[in-house]
Amino acid sequence: MNLTDKPTKKYSLLLFDLDDTLLENSSWFDEGLVQTLAEHPLTKGMDDQQFLKQLKQPPRSLIDKLVSGELTTFEFKRERWKSALDSLDVRADIEEIDQLESLFVNRSMNFITADESVLNLMNELNKQFEVGIVTNGLYDPQQKIINMGLGDIFSQDKIIHAEPLGIRKPDSRIYTIALEAFNKKPEETIFIGDSWTHDVVGPMEAGMEAIWVNFRREEKPTDHTPYAIVSSIMEIKDILVSSSLSSSKGEEESDE
């Protein structure tokens, strides 16, 4: 755990990335896809690991079109399926691709379940901070949160989802939208996530502090200095849960 040597401030809002941060276990995607391929007539008997690799590593051109807004997330997911199927010489029409996507969503969400340690962490943090989520995720974040057992902490209005907004991290506008949703200033906010670009650089350049969840043990790509660097979301409790770091909800409510 690395901490920067900065003066203690008062923070009142924690914004979290979802996938690979709050939802640490990404196996739901793999397991859901394998089950989908085994069930759908078009893909039964397919090499699921080869297909998984192709789906998770789509052509860069598709990613660029998604980031630029040339493709919606709906269109991107269709094109990603088509590209992966084409790579294995499987031809599918739009109806079949949509069937695969729908089946995948239904099956994969079943593999997202509650993690007692994350539940305890968020219940503890929620006593001292307002909390929210800012995610680029391609799949329904509210359903993920419900399956994780965090629905009472993260209601729909506390989830800033890129898809309906039509903008994605690290676009500065999405951080502004998040701050406005919580009526907070950047200097009152800490952003927590695994992506250096989306969850550290973007928020810091918007005036927030950031905690990098560096579970991949990567080197810092730029000279930005986040508030802390951790290898797991669970490490943030020792950094954040203290009366000197945060202003309690009770104090804020008593001032209103």
Q: Strand, coil or helix: what is 10?
A: coil
Percent residues over pLDDT 90 in the chain: 86
Beta strands 189-193; 159-161: pairing state: unpaired
Q: Where in the chain is the domain with CATH 1.10.150?
A: 27-109
Strands (DSSP E) found in 84-129: none
Buried b (16+ CB within 10 A) or exposed e, 69-96: eebebeebbbbbbbbbbeeeeeebeeeb
Per-residue pLDDT reduced to its tens digit, 19-31: 999 998 889 999 9
Please state the rounded mean pLDDT for residues 236-246. Answer: 73
Q: 157 phi and psi, to 5 degrees?
A: -75, -5
pLDDT at 69 over 60: yes
Beta strands 189-193; 13-16: pairing state: parallel
Of the listed ranges 6-10, 63-67, 115-119, 160-164, the one predicted with least confidence: 6-10
H helices present in 110-191, as ranges: 116-128, 141-147, 162-165, 172-182
Query: What is the pTM for the complete model shown?
Result: 0.89
pLDDT at 247 over 60: no
Q: How many CB atoms lie within 10 A of CB 8?
A: 8
Q: Where in the chain is the domain with CATH 3.40.50.1000?
A: 2-23+113-255
CB 99 within 8 A of CB 40: yes
CATH class for the domain made up of 2-23+113-255:
alpha beta
pLDDT at 210 over 80: yes
CATH class for the domain made up of 27-109:
mainly alpha
